[in-house]
C-alpha cells in the first residue's frame, strides 16, 4: 500500500508477487495436511469442525490469491495509480477483519 502511494513500481510488484507466492504455498500446505490427516469429516465432531473451519479459511485464501493475481496483472499494465487503488486494499483488509 505504501509503495503504491509513493509510486515505487518495482517494490509494488515484488511485494505483491511475494504475497501471491505465500498464498499458493499456504494452499498447498493445507492440501498436504488434508491428504495426510489421520481423521475425516465423518469421524467426529472435531473432524467436522476442523475441516469446515480450515476449509472456509482455505477458500478465502484461494479467492484472495486469485484476486491478488488479478491485481498484479493490472499493476503490470499500469491500471493503478496512487489514487486508484483503494478498493483492492479495502477488500483485503475487510477480509482480515472478517477472519479475525
Query: What would the grid cell of residue 89 be?
Result: 486494499
The CATH code of the domain that includes 59 is 1.20.120.80
Domain that holds residue 28: 1-99
Per-residue pLDDT reduced to its tens digit, 74-100: 888 877 665 665 566 666 666 666 656
Q: Tell whether the model's pLDDT for residue 39 goes beyond 60.
A: yes
| Structural domain count of the chain | 1
Q: Global pTM?
A: 0.75
Per-residue pLDDT reduced to its tens digit, 40-63: 888 888 888 988 989 988 998 898
pLDDT of residue 36: 92
Amino acid at each position: 500500500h505504501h509503495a503504491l502511494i509513493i509510486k515505487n513500481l518495482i517494490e509494488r510488484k515484488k511485494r505483491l508477487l511475494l504475497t501471491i507466492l505465500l498464498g499458493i504455498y499456504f494452499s498447498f500446505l493445507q492440501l498436504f495436511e488434508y491428504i495426510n490427516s489421520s481423521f475425516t469429516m465423518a469421524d467426529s465432531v472435531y473432524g467436522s469442525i476442523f475441516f469446515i473451519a480450515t476449509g472456509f479459511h482455505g477458500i478465502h485464501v484461494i479467492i484472495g490469491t486469485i484476486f491478488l493475481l488479478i491485481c498484479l496483472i493490472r499493476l503490470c499494465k499500469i491500471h493503478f495509480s496512487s489514487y486508484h487503488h483503494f478498493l483492492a486494499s479495502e477488500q483485503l483488509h475487510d477480509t482480515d477483519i472478517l477472519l479475525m
